[in-house]
Structures are given as C-alpha cells and as structure tokens.
C-alpha cells in the first residue's frame, strides 16, 4: 500500500523507524522516547546522565521496542557524530531526531556571567546544530528532525531569561534554515515545537506560587500548565508521515500563550 493510500491513523505510525532523542534521561525527553516507542519506533536515548538513561530505556523496552542508551554531551561535535554512528551501528538506520537537550537560567542580564550565557547557547542552540548536522549525514529521504524550542523564543518572558530566550529564538531560526537546505534536496523535514509551561525538571525549579501567578496573569487561554501527553502527541505527529507536508515551521504548544 502506497503512503497516500494509508488509513489516517496508520500515517501516525513509526513502525520500522529508528528515533534518537537527546536530553532523554528524565522529564520531557524521557517522555518523548516512550511516546515514539508507543508509535512503533526503536529508540536511541542520549543525555549526560547514564543512570537516568538506563531507567528511560527500560520504559521503552517494556513496550516491546528496542532501546539503546548512549551517554553524550551535545556540546561536543565529535560526541554527536559518535552518537549517530553508534545508532547506525546498532540499528542500521536513523529516521527521526528529537533535539531536546537543553538548560535554562533566570538571571538579570546585568548580573549574568559570560560563561553562563555561553553555556546556555552552547547546549540549547549549538548542541542542536551539531546533532542535526551529524544526523542529516545518514538520514534517508522521508526523515524528520524535531527541535524542541520554547514559547520564550516567540514572546517575552515573565522572568529575566536572556540566554534561554536567545537560544530558543535562535533554534527557531536554525529550524527554518536547515529545512530550507534539507527538505527539498535531502527529503529531511525540519520543524520545531515551542512548548509553553509544562511540568518538567526545569519548571520544578520555579516556586509554585510564582509559577501559578504567571500562568494566571498573562498567558494561557486554557489557564493551566500543559501535561506531558499533550506535547508527546505533537512530537509524534511531526516525526511521522502524518505531517509530511509540514516543513520549516514552529508549532506552539502553549495553551494559547503566544496567540495574544
């Protein structure tokens, strides 16, 4: 059966595909790995922390899919290339890359030290570039790269987050450019997701009362934080053939925050 003839729900399937998720040792990244496995993919999980990776791998394997944990620092281009080659060595192919590795700070701009600003850019923006560069060398036509940006790459922040906002705005620009280079020539679609405020390790660092105040005051037409499953489905959609005519876009998943 050719792809246009597939029933709608089958177009969301990732059966026979291999996905690689960075920042997969916990939180949203671990959730993405499980969601991709639920859609049928075997998954390579990468992060700096091996213990979290092993636990996330077990969750993927419970679904009957194969999983491989590879400790990786995405700020090292050579480590990114080695990660991709490890994935190819184990599974023989790579079809989906989810660039989720990231970090955030909330420091007034006049007090933020240069090394901290550089570290955020290095992980969130440059790490995604090194990973995409390495993956695109081996991905077949029909593959998909999904960059996890942020609504703060689109709108102002409630807190002083210059480095984080700059890195995510840069990632959105990178998404457009890489898609321009690769979607037509190589058949690799590149899109981004811009999450609003979801329950994660990053938002867990924000005092509950401050977070509630922010959600209530400015932001979401839905009036609440997002849940992991609401982001998982978007990542699977962009990774799958169901989104085959979506290329170079940033899809905000923010409860209406950026729609004001």
Q: Residue 250 in 3-state DSSP? A: strand
Query: What are the structure tokens assigned to 94, written together?
Result: 């790579």
Q: Which residues are catalytic?
A: 164
Residue located via tokens 């940006």: 149
Domains of the chain: 3-248 (3.40.50.720)
Q: Give one word for 223, left, alpha or beta, with left for phi > 0 and alpha for psi -120 to 50.
A: left
> pLDDT truncated to tens, each residue of the chain (260 aa)?
557 778 899 999 999 999 999 999 999 999 999 999 999 999 999 999 888 999 999 999 999 999 999 999 999 999 999 999 999 999 999 999 999 999 988 888 989 999 999 999 999 999 999 999 999 999 999 999 999 999 989 887 777 889 999 999 999 999 999 999 999 999 999 999 999 988 766 666 666 666 666 666 655 677 778 899 999 999 999 999 999 999 999 999 988 888 76
Q: Residue 146 in 3-state DSSP? A: strand
Enumerate residues 6+ apart whose C-beta is below 8 A from 1: none
Q: Are β-strands 189-195 and 144-148 bridged in parallel, bridged antiparallel, or unpaired?
A: parallel
pTM, 2 dp:
0.93
């Amino acid at each position: 059966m050719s792809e246009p003839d597939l029933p709608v729900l089958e177009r969301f399937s990732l059966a026979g595909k291999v996905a690689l998720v960075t920042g997969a040792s916990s939180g949203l990244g671990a959730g993405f790995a499980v969601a991709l496995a639920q859609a049928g993919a075997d998954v390579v999980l990468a992060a700096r922390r091996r213990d979290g990776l092993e636990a996330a791998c077990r969750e993927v394997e419970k679904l009957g899919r194969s999983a491989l944990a590879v400790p990786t620092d995405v700020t090292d281009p050579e480590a990114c290339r080695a990660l991709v080659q490890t994935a190819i060595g184990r599974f023989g192919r790579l079809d989906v890359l989810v660039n989720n590795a990231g970090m955030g700070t909330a420091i007034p701009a006049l007090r933020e030290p240069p090394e901290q600003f550089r570290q955020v850019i290095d992980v969130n923006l440059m790490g995604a570039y090194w990973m995409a560069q390495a993956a695109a060398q081996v991905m077949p036509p029909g593959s998909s790269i999904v960059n996890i940006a942020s609504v703060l790459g689109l709108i102002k922040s409630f807190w002083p987050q210059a480095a984080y906002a700059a890195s995510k705005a840069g990632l959105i620009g990178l998404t457009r450019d890489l898609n321009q280079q690769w979607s037509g020539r190589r058949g690799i679609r590149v899109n981004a997701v811009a999450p609003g405020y979801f329950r994660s390790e990053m938002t867990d660092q924000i005092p509950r009362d401050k977070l509630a105040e922010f959600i209530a005051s400015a932001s979401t037409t839905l009036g609440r934080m997002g849940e992991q499953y609401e982001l998982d489905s978007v990542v699977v959609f962009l990774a799958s053939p169901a989104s085959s005519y979506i290329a170079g876009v940033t899809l905000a998943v923010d409860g209406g925050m950026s729609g004001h």
